[in-house]
């Protein structure tokens, strides 16, 4: 079986991130086997010069190459949280069980490592990521607040609204109104 070389990236949280990373490697002429949340796989690792060049382009796009074992572990946790959130409607387990099913460490250890590197707990990060998804849904205006609450695993619209206000300082309807006002073209004088 052939071994593949991998590069672990921080800040990849959505399909658009995958597309951006694929584009950066394609423009740099570096062939990749596949790009997934948090990682890029190669048949053979690119040379240092090419890798340094692409690291700069990745940094410009908001991604960071992870070099240490602890940072890789934290990025694996971040990737799993994003995966959990994207499939939250189909989840049969809680977040901690989902993470420990993929990373064979005690959850309290993973939580301590995550907190020490990120400066926030896994649960706080999960809440922030959920609220970002709520914001995205509100901006695109495709779903009602009830549908958004259901899709993102909130127990009720009230729970979503309370979490949203706690994180952003705004109610979802006020956030949506502010976003709509920004999208509205200015009237001609």
For 2-35, the DSSP string reads: ---EEEEEES--SHHHHHHHHHHHHHTT---SEE
**C-alpha–C-alpha distance, residues 77 and 154, integer Å:** 21
Tell me what pLDDT residue 4 has.
66
**C-alpha–C-alpha distance, residues 34 and 39, integer Å:** 8
Percent of the chain with pLDDT over 90: 53
- Rounded to two decimals, the pTM is 0.66
Most confident of 32-41, 72-81, 159-168: 159-168
Average pLDDT of the residues in 69-87: 89
Tell me what pLDDT residue 188 has.
43
Fold of 5-65: Alpha-Beta Plaits (3.30.70)
**Domain residue extents for the chain:** 5-65, 69-119, 128-183
Residues 6+ apart with CB under 8 A from 136: none
CATH number of 128-183: 1.10.10.60
pLDDT surpassing 50 at residue 189: no
**Reported confidence tier of residue 64, pLDDT bands at 50, 70, 90:** confident
* Tokens 């990025």 found at: 75
Pick 5 or 73 by higher pLDDT: 73
pLDDT surpassing 60 at residue 18: yes
Give start and end residues of each alpha helix (H) in 87-171: 95-102, 107-118, 122-140, 145-151, 157-168
């Amino acid at each position: 079986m052939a071994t593949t070389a991998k590069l672990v990236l921080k800040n990849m949280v959505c399909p658009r991130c995958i597309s951006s990373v694929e584009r950066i490697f394609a423009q740099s002429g570096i062939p990749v086997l596949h790009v997934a949340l948090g990682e890029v796989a190669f048949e053979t690792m690119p040379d240092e010069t090419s890798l340094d060049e692409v690291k700069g382009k990745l940094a410009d796009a908001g991604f960071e190459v992870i070099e240490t074992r602890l940072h890789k572990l934290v990025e694996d946790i971040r990737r799993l949280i994003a995966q959990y959130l994207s499939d939250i409607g189909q989840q049969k387990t809680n977040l901690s069980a989902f993470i420990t099913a993929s990373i064979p460490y005690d959850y309290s250890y993973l939580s301590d490592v995550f907190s020490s590197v990120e400066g926030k707990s896994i649960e706080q990060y999960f809440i922030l990521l959920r609220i970002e998804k709520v914001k995205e849904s509100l901006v695109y205006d495709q779903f009602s607040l009830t549908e958004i609450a259901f899709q993102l695993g909130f127990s009720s619209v009230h729970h979503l609204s309370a979490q949203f206000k706690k994180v952003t300082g705004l109610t979802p309807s006020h956030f949506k109104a502010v976003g709509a006002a920004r999208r509205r073209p200015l009237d001609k004088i």
